[in-house]
Amino acid sequence: MSRGRFAGLLAVICTAAVSLSACASGDDAVAQGGTFDFVSPGGQTEIFYDPPADRGTIGTVSGPDLMTEGKTTSLDDFAGQVVVLNVWGQWCGPCRGEANDLEQVYEETKDQGVSFLGINVRDNQQDKAQDFVIDNKVSYPSIYDPAMRTMIALGQNYPTSVIPTTIVLDREHRVAAVFLKELLAEDLKPVVERVAQES
């Protein structure tokens, strides 16, 4: 076989392998795009989307629950609630830094109809991600998504390389705010409470 034909055959095999590896199995996170189009003017790390009527929705977010084998956790589980999505990894120093602050805001706002949902990414060892949750006393659920398939749901042009990311969704699960940085409770809580108070 000529070198050119061999290279062509190799390219076909690699393409097929990539296509197969991208197919979701029953244990994978599922995501479909919504109407949200991510824009970060001037590289801002705090972006707010107002008025509410102009907000876009993210897509379907669903996947294996990090802590409970056989359970699926979905954004749809939180219908009518403000939802704070946090994309994190146990390997991520800023994620460790903000874990207590996120838990504090969750505890202080859950009675206002606010839920938190983590999306654990790039952790190929689930037990290490579970240890992170236990060690940091995180009481809200997370989707286990090492392949980052849920990121597709977060809109076009979304910066998948920015971890941690926190997204505040209003009660219709439209994007109200995006934080592309480590958060303190004092940064997040006023935004969450403002969105929770919207009519």
* Residue range 8-52, pLDDT digits in tens: 433 333 333 333 223 333 345 555 568 888 877 788 999 999 999
State in words which class domain 26-196 has. alpha beta
The DSSP bridge pattern shows strands 114-121 and 82-88 to be parallel
DSSP 2-25: -HHHHHHHHHHHHHHHHHHHTS--
* Residue range 128-180, pLDDT digits in tens: 999 999 999 999 999 999 999 888 888 777 888 899 999 999 999 999 999 99
With 0-12 / 13-18 / 19 or more C-beta atoms within 10 angstroms meaning exposed / middle / buried, residue 158 is: buried
